[in-house]
Amino acid sequence: MRAVAVLSLLCLVAASSCQSHDLDKLMVTVLVLGQTTYGDVVLYKVNAYKYGFPFFVRTSIIKYPERGKYNFAYIRAIHIKDNDYDGSGGYPSISAGGIGQRFVKVKLKSQRGGGLNFTVTIYGRYLFPF
């Protein structure tokens, strides 16, 4: 009975250590929403980085525009790039707003035990020239 418990524990540890959301190790996870065209400008660009802790899932929420600021441009495209190339990166998602809106809320989530390293770029177009 003790051997079965030890064997099942080893199998559990092995399964959790080889968890990967990226099958091709050279592939970079990218979430692209919308399409950039001539006349679009970079409205916002940020690098989000958090260290990983064993057995914890790290999350980060990025809001555009930042609190206390105004946005007069409509969002045309959102590019979210995972900078971890080894398959240990995370999962991006849009919680609110997005394409065609003037605001967006991006949620970044890491794998269990891993950190997150993303570059979020938001493109848009002003309705009137400055």
Give the Cα separation of 125 and 37 in Å (integer). 9
Provide mean pLDDT across the span 29-41: 87
- What amino acid occupies position 116? L
CA–CA separation, 42 and 29 (whole Å): 21
Q: Does the pLDDT value for residue 20 go beyond 50?
A: no
Q: Are 122 and 44 in contact (CB under 8 A)?
A: yes
Does pTM surpass 0.85?
A: no
Q: Whole-angstrom Cα distance, residue 69 to residue 63?
A: 11
- Which band of pLDDT confidence, cut at 50, 70 and 90, is reported for residue 23? very low
pLDDT (tens digit per residue) in 89-130: 788 999 999 899 999 999 999 888 888 889 999 999 987 765
> Which pair of tokens denotes residue 127?
């309705």
Distance CA 69, CA 123 (A): 17
Q: What is the pLDDT of residue 128?
A: 72
